Structure 1
C-alpha cells in the first residue's frame, strides 16, 4: 500500500519541526498558555458584554473588546513564544543532546529553521485560538477592519522576528552565568516589546494613525528593515552552530552589508517616487542607525581570529577577481576591519553625495558624524591590532578577551582626561569650556562639537589619528588580502607511494 499524502508530507517536512512540535504541543507550558489564553478571552467576552449593556447596540464597544483580546494574544506571542524559542536551543546544549543532532545528516540551517518553524506553528495555533473572539468583535459597532488586519499582521511579523532574535542569543553565551544573565535581559526586552506593541495598537484604534500614503511608506520601510534583520539574525544563528572549520563569516557579512545598502536605496527610492526631498530628520536618523549598526557589528568582526581552515581554503573560487571581491567577507579580524572601513567610506560618500536631495543639513551634524566615524576607525583599528597580538600568545585566549581589553581601554581613555583636569582645578571655574585634553573622551568631544561650544580642530585631529591607525594596520591588511589571493591550498595525498620509497623498502 502506498503512503497517504499526509504521511508523505510529514516525511518531507523538517524532522526538527516534527520533533519540536510534538514535544511543544504536549508540554505543560504550551497547554497552560493555551488554556489561559482561552479562559482570559472567554472572561473578557462575558464580563465585557455584561458591563457594556446597551452600548453594545448604540456605542462602539468593538475597540475595547479588540484591545483586550489583542492584549492577551500579544502576551502569548511576544513574551512566551520567543522566550520558549530561546530556551529550546539552550536546553539542547545544557542537556548535551545537540551533539546527537550535529552528528546526523541535518545541517545547522535545517536545525535552526526547524526550531524557528516550531515557534511559528505555536504562534499560528494561538492565532487560531483567538480567531473566534476576533470574529465576535467584528459583529459589534465600530469595528475597524483595516486597523485589525494591520495590527495582526504586524504582531505576526514582530513575533517571528523576536523568535529569530532569541534563537540567536541562545547560541552566543555558552557559560551558565552568561545564560542566566541573558535570560533576565531577554525577559525585560520582551516585556518592553510587548509594551511598545500595546502602544501601537492603542494609537491605531484611537485613530491617531490613519491609512495615508505616508503610513504605507513607513510600513514598507519597517517591513524591509525587519526582513533584513530577520536574515541577519538567522545567518548569525546558523554560523554559531557550525563547526570551527566552517565558514562562519561570509554569510553574516554579506547580509550586514546588504542591509546598509538596502536602507539607503529604499530612502532614495521613496524620495524619487514621491518626488520630494529627503526630510532632514529622516536623514539624521538613518545616518545614526547606520553608525550604530557598524559600530556594534564591527566590534565583533574586527577582533576575530585570523585563521582560515583547510576547508575554507579548499573552497575558495579559482578566479582571482572573485577571490579579490570576497576578501572583506572571508573570516578573520583583519579582513573584518577592511569590510568596516569600506562601509564607513561608502557611508561618508553617501552623506556628501546626497546633500543636494536633503531639505537641510546642519554643518554641526556633518562634523559630529565624521567625528564618530573617526572614533570608530581608531578603536576598531586598535582592537584589530590587540586581537592579532593577544591571540598569538596562547590558544587559551579568545576574541572575547581582546574585546574586554578594548572596553577597558575605552573606559580609561574616557575617564583619564577628566581626572587630570580635576587635579588641575579646571572644573572649579563656572561652565568650563571644552579642552583638547578631553579628545580621548568620545562623549565629551562629540557633545562639544554637536552643541557648537567648540570650534577648534578636534575633527581634524581625529581624522589624522584615524589615518595613522589605518596606516599601522596596512601591513596586516596586505597579508590578509594575499592570504586569499594566493592561498596555500591543501593538496590531496596520493594513494601511490613514490618510486624512491618503493625502492628503499625493497632493499
Structure 2
C-alpha cells in the first residue's frame, strides 16, 4: 500500500510581538496609517526635512568653528520656515483628499459596513494624519535641541513655538477634512483663508511688543486659551466633516451647536472675570466657526425621520425643550441664533461694565436700535429660503440674499454722492431692508439723524419679519412634535417585555 506524498506546508509568516498594529486600534486608523506612510508625499517631505535640517545645522556648526556666534538671523529664519511649511501647509493639505478619494473610488460604503459611525471614520483619518505629522515633528526635535549648544538660542521659546504650530496643524488638518468633500475651488479658498488667519494668530502670539504694549492678552492667558481653542475647533471641524458623510438619522447639528454654545459661555466668563483683551481675543478666534455653524443652522431643512428625535423625546419635557435648540432644521436654528445673540450681548455688557463703565448707558441706548436690526438682518434671508423649498443648496440662497442686500447699500452709497441728491435721502429707501440698514448705521452711527429715522421705520419692519418667521417656526415645531410622538410609539412597539423564567420543576 503506497502512501501519497504530501508536500510540506510552508510555514506561516508571523510577525513578532509589537511589530504589528494592536487589535484594539480602530480599523480605519490602521488602514489610513498603512496607506499614508507609504505615500510619496510623506516620504518626500520626511526626507527633504532631514536634508534641509542637516544643511542648516552643518552651516551653523561651520560658523561656530570659524569663531561666529552661530545664531544668525538667517539660519533661525530658515529653521523656522522649514518647520511651519510642513506643519501648516504640506501635512494638513493631505486631508483635502481624505474623503473625496473615498467617494471617487466608491470605497466609503465598504468602510461604513464595519459599523463605524461617520464621526469615528473621520476621527480615524484625522488621527492617522496627525500621527504622521508627529513623526515629522519628532524628526525635527533633535535639531532644535542641537541648536541650543551653538549659544544664544532660546530652546524653551523654540519648543514652545513648535508646540503652538503643532496645535495649529491639528486645527488645519481637521479643517482640511471638513472641506475634503467640497468643491476643489472652495477647498483652496477656505484653506488659504484659514492659513492667513492662523498666521495672524501665530504672529500675535510670538510678537512680544504686541503683548507688552497691552494690545492683547498676556502670554499666560494665551498658553491656556490656545489649547482649549484648538480642542474645541478640532472637535467642531470633525463633526462638520462627519455630517458630510453621515446618514440623516444622525444628529450632528446638535453637537456642532453645543460646541458653539460652550464657546460663547467661555467668552461670557472671560468678559466678566478675565483680562481686558482675553474676551476679545477669544471672541475673534471663535467668530468664523460661530458664523459658519449659524449659517448652516439657518439653512437646514427639517428631517422627516422619527428616530432622529427619539433621544430627546424619551427624556421628557426638558429633553424636548433642548431639542427645540439642537434639532436639525431652520426653526431650531432661529432659537439657536437668538441664544447666540444673547451671549454676544452678555459679552458686550461684561466688557463695557468692567473696563468702560462710563459708556454703559450709551451702549444700552444704542442696543435698543442695533440689537433688533442686527438680529433681524441675520435671520431675514430665511424668508427667501422658505419661498424656494425645493432649492438643492439653501445655504447659497442665504449667501446670495445677503449679497443682494449689500449691493443695495452700495447703490444707495453711490447715489448719495450725486450732487443733485441729499445723501440722507439716498439711504432712506433702505429702511425695509435690515441688512442694508445695518451697513448704514455702522458708518453713520445710531445717534445720527438716519438712526432716528430707522428707529421709526426699520424697527416695525424687523417686527414683521420676526413675527412671520416665528409663526412659521411654531408650525414647524408642531410638525416636530408629531415626529417625536411617532418616535416614542415606534420605541414602545419594539420594547418587548422580558420573559420571566420560573425555577419550578
Could you tell me how far 1:67 is from its partner in structure 2?
A: 4.0
1:101-180 matched pairs, under 5 angstroms: 101-171=111-181, 173=182, 179-180=183-184
TM-score normalized by the length of structure 1: 0.80
Task: Quote the residue 2:317 is aligned against.
Answer: 320
Q: Distance in 2 between matches of 1:205 and 1:405?
A: 42
Aligned residues: 472
2:270 touches 2:279 (CA, 8 Å); kept in 1?
no
Task: Quote the residue 2:339 is aligned against.
Answer: 342
Q: Deviations over 1:55-78 (max 9, x none)?
A: 44xx36177644432221211111
Q: Distance in 1 between matches of 2:206 and 2:312?
A: 53
Q: Distance in 2 between matches of 1:333 and 1:154?
A: 37
Given the superposition, is the C-alpha separation of residues 410 and 9 from structure 1 closer, same or farther in structure 2, using an over 3 Å criterion? same
Given the superposition, is the C-alpha separation of residues 48 and 16 from structure 1 closer, same or farther in structure 2, using an over 3 Å criterion? same
1:79 touches 1:187 (CA, 8 Å); kept in 2?
no
Per mean C-alpha deviation after superposition, the further-off stretch among 377-386 and 104-113 is 377-386
Task: Quote the residue 1:42 is aligned against.
Answer: 54
2:413 touches 2:427 (CA, 8 Å); kept in 1?
no
Could you tell me how far 1:194 is from its partner in structure 2?
A: 7.4
Q: Distance in 2 between matches of 1:28 and 1:288?
A: 38
1:78 touches 1:193 (CA, 8 Å); kept in 2?
no
Given the superposition, is the C-alpha separation of residues 204 and 355 from structure 1 closer, same or farther in structure 2, using an over 3 Å criterion? closer
Q: Distance in 1 between matches of 2:262 and 2:210?
A: 37
Q: Distance in 2 between matches of 1:295 and 1:95?
A: 33
Given the superposition, is the C-alpha separation of residues 360 and 296 from structure 1 closer, same or farther in structure 2, using an over 3 Å criterion? farther
RMSD: 3.8
Q: Distance in 1 between matches of 2:105 and 2:235?
A: 28
1:324 touches 1:484 (CA, 8 Å); kept in 2?
no
The partner residue of 2:387 within 386, 389, 400 is 389
The partner residue of 1:250 within 244, 249, 254 is 254
Q: Distance in 2 between matches of 1:23 and 1:451?
A: 62
The partner residue of 1:264 within 265, 268, 279 is 268
Name which structure has the greater RCO, CA cutoff 8 Å, separation 6+: 1
Please list every run of 5 or more consecutive structure 1 residues that lacks an aligned counterpart in the other structure.
174-178, 272-278, 496-507
Given the superposition, is the C-alpha separation of residues 215 and 350 from structure 1 closer, same or farther in structure 2, using an over 3 Å criterion? closer
1:44-443 matched pairs, under 5 angstroms: 44-51=56-63, 53-56=65-68, 59=69, 61=71, 65-171=75-181, 173=182, 179-186=183-190, 188-189=192-193, 192=196, 196=200, 199=203, 203=207, 214-271=218-275, 279=276, 294-318=290-314, 319-352=316-349, 355-360=352-357, 362=359, 373-391=371-389, 394=390, 397-418=392-413, 421=416, 425-426=420-421, 435-439=427-431, 440=433, 441=436, 442-443=438-439
The partner residue of 2:32 within 20, 28, 31 is 20
Could you tell me how far 1:307 is from its partner in structure 2?
A: 2.5
Task: Quote the residue 2:7 is aligned against.
Answer: none
Q: Distance in 2 between matches of 1:71 and 1:472?
A: 55
Q: Distance in 1 between matches of 2:205 and 2:336?
A: 40
Could you tell me how far 1:374 is from its partner in structure 2?
A: 3.2
Task: Quote the residue 1:176 is aligned against.
Answer: none
1:63 touches 1:205 (CA, 8 Å); kept in 2?
no
- Find the residue that maps to 1:249 and give its secondary structure: helix
Q: Distance in 1 between matches of 2:285 and 2:171?
A: 18
Q: Distance in 1 between matches of 2:59 and 2:198?
A: 24
Task: Quote the residue 1:274 is aligned against.
Answer: none
1:161 touches 1:230 (CA, 8 Å); kept in 2?
yes
2:272 touches 2:350 (CA, 8 Å); kept in 1?
no
Given the superposition, is the C-alpha separation of residues 125 and 200 from structure 1 closer, same or farther in structure 2, using an over 3 Å criterion? farther
Please list every run of 5 or more consecutive structure 2 residues that lacks an aligned counterpart in the other structure.
1-11, 495-505
Q: Deviations over 1:281-307 (max 9, x none)?
A: 666666677776654432221121123
Task: Quote the residue 2:470 is aligned against.
Answer: 474
1:364 touches 1:452 (CA, 8 Å); kept in 2?
no
Q: Distance in 1 between matches of 2:33 and 2:185?
A: 28
TM-score normalized by the length of structure 2: 0.80
- Find the residue that maps to 2:246 and give its secondary structure: coil
Q: Distance in 2 between matches of 1:377 and 1:139?
A: 58
Could you tell me how far 1:368 is from its partner in structure 2?
A: 6.7
Q: Deviations over 1:409-446 (max 9, x none)?
A: 4244324534665678327x8xx798433554232331
Does residue 444 of the first structure (1) align with residue 454 of the second (2)? no
Given the superposition, is the C-alpha separation of residues 349 and 75 from structure 1 closer, same or farther in structure 2, using an over 3 Å criterion? closer
Could you tell me how far 1:5 is from its partner in structure 2?
A: 5.6
Per mean C-alpha deviation after superposition, the further-off stretch among 433-442 and 126-135 is 433-442
Q: Deviations over 1:153-203 (max 9, x none)?
A: 1011111011011111223x2xxxxx2212432553465367558746874
Q: Distance in 1 between matches of 2:169 and 2:226?
A: 14
